Chains A and B, each alone.
Chain A
Amino acid sequence: MIASPETTNQGAAAPPPIERSLVVFDNVSRFYGEVLGVNRVTLAIPPGITSLVGPNGSGKTTLMNLMTGLVRPTRGDIKVRGVATDDPERLFRIVGYSTQFDSFPKGLTGFDFVYSFLRLFGDSHADCEARAWKAIERVNLAEPAKRRVAGYSKGMRQRIKLAQAIAHDPQVLVLDEPLNGLDPLVRAETIALFREFAAAGKHVIMSTHILHEVDMISDQVILLANGYVVAEGEISGVRSEISEQPIQVQVRCDRPSAMAARVFATDHVVEVKLHTDGGGLLIKTRDADKFYRLLNHIALEGISIESVTPADDNANSIYEYLIGGEEATR
């Protein structure tokens, strides 16, 4: 991680070259009344895949909303590749944001959703139509694109939001829990898409509370707890700790008993609980990588997997484990 500059060049028309390639938070705080969102955040995020990691309520979404201007800092200054966040006209030509909000303008099809968004850029119908289809095809949603979003599954809604975020080919892609609700194959495709973006020198900044995803995807990680940045750096530093912690995953599928038998045959799965409605199961594993590879095999063997959702109630304890020392000294 590149250290943030001590001073910023706010008065100048063009930011210094280094700032044009960074997402910079300069002593940023945000309070919701008396409730703390984030406090005294100073960061300079370089291109590549950066994961914002922290338990629920740690400030991940606030940080992303701040860098996209959906909320304003109570104090401090934010620049996204040299662009101020209160200048939406310039900011959203370089930023795409897939939010956590699972709500869409009423009555739109998947295609309409992406196309209408592109029309707001002021571009022509033909141009927007072509770009909308390109983005939709990139997330493998071409077939249901003419169906209403209201009828989409959670995974499809996640993908159409991603299509909207990438449709204008942004330099900075901000993603709030982008892998939630995706099945294993789509998850792998989506991760490949993020890597492609990062390889092109762009920013991919995503939030997650699933540590094994961080390990798989990220170039760098920012750990948040209670609104503070408690650690930042390359992922290798936290990898060993992550692998020792069990994770829990909710799987919805057509044959949960068969899947339970299949996963129990492995040495890394430590616990399986069938859902009472007979439509899924909760799996606890000590090796996330092996587990997700296994899920891919199971999907190919014919068990229809509807969704895979991390149900990591233990996330808080993992964070406490990872960041407890720093919190203790605060």
Chain B
Amino acid sequence: MNKKMHWGLWWAQIRSVIRLEMRKTFFAKRGLWVYLLALMPVVLFFADSANVLRDRDRRAELETTHPAKAEALRSIETGMTKDQVVAKVGEPYGQTTFTFTRRNESHSRTVYRYTDGANDYVFTFRDDELAQIRTNELRTIANDSLIFATVFQFFFLRLAIFFGCVGIFTNLFRGELLDKSLHFYLLAPIRREVLLVGKYLAGLIATTVIFTTSTALQILAMGWHLTGPSMTEFLRGPGWGQIGAYLGVTALACLGYGSVFLAAGLLFRNPIIPAAVVLLWESANPFLPAALKKISVIFYLQSMCPVVAKPADMPALAALLLSSAEATPAVWAIGGLIVVTLAVLALAARQARALEINYSAD
């Protein structure tokens, strides 16, 4: 058989393995939780968008019943009295008063709520003097981008895709060893390396479809409350680039974590232990020396995220985790991730070659 025929045969065999595995990975009952994990942030973003829409309607309605000009509201300063505030912007749509006693003296705290139809203003008076002004802006694309980046990097990359890949990729070999059905493949005239590639690609297709669909739905859910013009402006600007980057990072996360957990399923009887070790390693990434940082998946993924998730009120430890990736050019990040993936797959292939069927020991 010449080389060209070999490649043709291997490709046909890989496609056959993919066909068989797809059925198992997409429709397995035990994989249902992966779908739930992927859908969780979609539900959260839809709920958030629904809340923003409801809030926008509420503000618009209040603006008609309690009209207040934005300019007048912005001119309010601390130290003013209630009467001065009311004289400038009228009666508030909402008012709450607390009274309390301190050192035998009676005090009050009063909150006035106004809206100009877009932003909410909360004025807090101590006794009769305005002590604090808080503004709740109607959600903007900039806010949304930051929220999305935080959820994406904190939850989606580090937990949802991570554990989704644990569930799908470790089962490709280990699951069949436990079901005592792996010999089905090993009795066919197929190189173990070809089998490994077929199974890996099947897992990669399944996870990529599930999680990139989730990413796309999250973006859709997040943008649901945006008005037409602001959405158009966003898409004309960085919009499509960011969407493409998030989808790409999702697919690359499946590529990287997939290889790690495929190898784990071959090397370890209990995949929970390597999953915990990898999770620890990925979490410890910010504290590692530069050279060691690069032997991880999260390092490259964070480098490619289009928005740095670092809200001002984020805890210091969490901020450290999110800002760990140094500015690595996308080409290097993709290249590095592919090198890590290929190295792990080579290790897995070596293990697959030595694999024996001894179900009683597994």
Cβ contact of B361, chosen from A32, A122, A123, cutoff 8 A: A32
Do A120 and B17 touch across chains, with their CB atoms under 8 A apart? yes
Cβ contact of B179, chosen from A90, A96, A103, A119, cutoff 8 A: A103
Do B24 and A106 touch across chains, with their CB atoms under 8 A apart? yes
Q: A70-B356, A71-B357, A120-B13 are in contact. Are A104 and B188 (CB under 8 A)?
A: no
A209 at the binding interface (Cβ < 8 Å)? no
Do A120 and B183 touch across chains, with their CB atoms under 8 A apart? no
Encode contact with B along A92-120: 1 for CB under 8 Å, 0 otherwise.
11001101010111110000000011011
Do A72 and B356 touch across chains, with their CB atoms under 8 A apart? yes
Cβ contact of A122, chosen from B13, B180, B356, B359, cutoff 8 A: B13
Give CA–CA (A32, B362) in the complex, Å. 13
Cβ contact of A88, chosen from B24, B191, B358, cutoff 8 A: B191
A residues less than 8 Å from B189 (CB atoms): 88-93, 120-121
A65 at the binding interface (Cβ < 8 Å)? yes
Give CA–CA (A32, B359) in the complex, Å. 12
A285 at the binding interface (Cβ < 8 Å)? no
- Total residues of chain A contacting the partner, CB 8 A: 29
Q: A88-B189, A92-B189, A107-B24 are in contact. Are A32 and B181 (CB under 8 A)?
A: no
Cβ contact of A99, chosen from B8, B183, B188, B191, cutoff 8 A: B183
B residues less than 8 Å from A105 (CB atoms): 20, 24, 176, 179, 181, 184
Which residues of chain B in 156-213 are interfacial with respect to chain A, using CB atoms and an 8 Å cutoff? 176, 179-181, 183-192
> Chain A residue with minimal CB distance to B28?
A106
Shortest Cβ distance from A131 into chain B, in angstroms?
A: 14
Which residues of chain B in 1-55 are interfacial with respect to chain A, using CB atoms and an 8 Å cutoff? 8-10, 12-13, 16-17, 19-20, 23-24, 27-28
Do B187 and A68 touch across chains, with their CB atoms under 8 A apart? yes
Do A97 and B187 touch across chains, with their CB atoms under 8 A apart? yes
Interface on A for B, CB 8 Å cutoff? 32, 65, 68-72, 88-93, 96-97, 99, 101, 103-107, 116-117, 119-123
Interface on B for A, CB 8 Å cutoff? 8-10, 12-13, 16-17, 19-20, 23-24, 27-28, 176, 179-181, 183-192, 354, 356-359, 361
15 pairs, A vs B, C-beta closer than 8 Å: A71-B357, A72-B354, A72-B356, A88-B192, A89-B189, A89-B190, A91-B189, A92-B189, A99-B187, A101-B181, A106-B181, A116-B16, A120-B188, A121-B189, A123-B12
Q: List 4 other contacts, CB 8 Å, given A70-B186, A120-B185.
A: A88-B190, A89-B189, A106-B24, A122-B10
